[in-house]
Amino acid sequence: MIETYLLEELQIFAQKKTLAKTAAALNVTQPTVTRGMQKLEDEFGVQLFNRQPNRITLTETGELAAKEAGNLISAMQTMTENVRNFEQSHQRIKIGSILPGPLILLRYLHSQLKSQVEVHDQELLQNKVPDFLTTHAYTLMISDQNIQTKKIASQYIGTEKLSVNLDQFMYHANQSEVSFAELKDLSFIVLSAIGPWRTIIQNEIPDAKFLYQAQRDAFTEITKYSDFPYFSSNLSKYDPQFIQQTQEPDNRVPIQLSDPSAHMKVFANFLKPQFERVQPVIKTMKQNWPE
């Protein structure tokens, strides 16, 4: 059995190309690397390196071995991560979401959820939802996808409804509803991490300008000292920062968007064997989901 450290040494040498750089990357001496290379050739029983007085390079066989070593190391890392995730998934319910709104609700419900529930705020990729579940990276994934497979089940939680906050002196601010088409040519201040909502607003208002802000504090400051319209949803009422923002003097009024695309169905996605564990969380979210 070839030891893992020898495969790592081979992979790094293939990247760095020299003994000196390989030794520096591994934080060992060059003689240590040289001995490792010789041991690796003995283990394989083939020549992996071309040795010249002032230079050493990989043979074609060595290049193949380095590529296979990289694949094996990657597979071992994935295996380790999956095993750890599996163990952690049985100790706590780890929740992720591709939408910010449900995360706002989950933080609001924190005191009602069990102590082993762990909510993660980082933005997650929409097309990775099944992978996040099957690798046990997350026990419960909140998304706009109704996934039904042999391994994964989904339950409808509620519908997130988008609104736009417009200057009260604008013509559209006097309406009970407004369509995306009526918002053309406007400039909006928008948080960057809004998941699939980003694609929707850009597609529905192609002539608009979107001033994306990665930091929530910057977004709040700009909305405070400008009249740019911004978006919110029926879940925003659970956000302490949004509540504080609406309590301060502001010329804007929230107007609900009438388009079907502004009403997003939200689902809880989970592995079928986790059904009993995630049901209390799903039930609590459903009970507190706003109209």
Position 260 scores a pLDDT of 97
> What total of structural domains would you count in the chain?
3
57: Cα within 13 Å, side-chain hemisphere: 5
Contact status, residue 213 vs residue 189, Cβ threshold 8 Å: yes
Domain boundary among 67, 88, 109: 88
Bridge pairing between strands 209-213 and 93-97: unpaired
For residue 12, give its domain range. 4-88
pLDDT tens digits, one per residue of 119-160 = 887 778 888 999 999 988 899 999 999 999 999 999 999 999
| Closest among 77, 74, 10, 13 to 39, alpha carbons compared | 10
The reply to whether 208 and 136 lie within a common domain is no
The reply to whether 30 and 82 lie within a common domain is yes
65: Cα within 13 Å, side-chain hemisphere: 24
Residue 87 has pLDDT above 70, yes or no: no
The reply to whether 179 and 64 lie within a common domain is no
**CATH (domain of 96):** 3.40.190.10
**CATH (domain of 53):** 1.10.10.10
| Closest among 233, 217, 238 to 107, alpha carbons compared | 238
The reply to whether 188 and 224 lie within a common domain is yes
Percentage of residues in the chain with pLDDT exceeding 70? 97
The reply to whether 99 and 61 lie within a common domain is no
Domain boundary among 70, 88, 106: 88
**CATH (domain of 170):** 3.40.190.290
The reply to whether 8 and 136 lie within a common domain is no
Question: 283: pLDDT confidence band, cut at 50, 70 and 90?
Answer: very high
The reply to whether 208 and 229 lie within a common domain is yes
The reply to whether 52 and 183 lie within a common domain is no
Position 289 scores a pLDDT of 96
Which helix (DSSP H) or strand (DSSP E) does residue 183 occupy? none
The reply to whether 67 and 104 lie within a common domain is no
Contact status, residue 81 vs residue 74, Cβ threshold 8 Å: no
The reply to whether 58 and 137 lie within a common domain is no
In sign, the C-alpha dihedral spanning 284, 285, 290, 291 is: negative
Domain boundary among 42, 61, 88: 88
> What mean pLDDT is predicted for residues 261-272?
97
The reply to whether 143 and 271 lie within a common domain is yes
Position 182 scores a pLDDT of 93
pLDDT tens digits, one per residue of 9-53 = 888 888 888 888 888 888 888 888 888 888 888 888 889 888 888
Question: 88: pLDDT confidence band, cut at 50, 70 and 90?
Answer: low
The reply to whether 55 and 190 lie within a common domain is no
pLDDT tens digits, one per residue of 210-261 = 999 999 889 988 888 888 999 999 999 999 888 877 777 778 899 999 999 9
